[in-house]
Amino acid sequence: MRIVLTCLGLLLSVVSAQADKVVASGKPLMLYEAYSTNPDCSSAGGVVLRVAQSPEHGRVSIRQTGVFPKFPEANPRSACNRRRVPGVQATYTSQRGYLGTDYVVLEALFPAGRGVRIRFPIRVM
């Protein structure tokens, strides 16, 4: 029974560690990139990215920039993976010297009407 509980505890700690983003204090961490791309790699419209819940111990910056998409090989847009396409990027930076956990929630609204809400637990070391 003790072995089973130990194994369960280890599995839960591994899952928890994989869910968190980890960053050194005061250093930038890319949280999220979003894009809406046509098969010819042109923009299918701008993605609106906003902070739904700000971090308590840092800041999030959002900027329009070129990003490398990550389409699966079976997707006709996978040829775009080798070049930058218009997109938006969110970056987190903790307060200098802060050590501990932080939390950010982003919302992305895509041109076709789909929206997503993404939660980011962050460990600052």
- Amino acid in the structure at residue 120: F
The pTM score is 0.79
Tell which CATH architecture fits domain 20-124. Sandwich (2.60)
> For 10-14, 51-55, 81-85, which range has the lowest pLDDT when averaged over its residues?
10-14
Query: pLDDT > 70: what percent of the chain?
Result: 85
Give me the pLDDT at residue 48, please.
97
pLDDT 10s digits, 24-64:
999 999 999 999 999 999 999 999 999 999 999 999 999 99
Average pLDDT of every residue of the chain: 87
Q: How confident is the model at residue 20 (pLDDT cuts 50, 70, 90)?
A: confident
> Could you give the angle at the alpha carbon of 21 between the alpha carbons of 7 and 98, nearest 5°?
110
Non-local (6+) Cβ contacts of 67 within 8 A are 33, 34, 35, 84, 85, 87, 88, 89
Q: CA dist 7 to 1, 4, 19, 20, 31, Å?
A: 10, 5, 19, 20, 31
Q: Where are the domains of the chain?
A: 20-124
Rg (C-alpha) for the chain, rounded Å, is 18
User: What local confidence, expressed as pLDDT, does residue 14 receive?
Assistant: 34
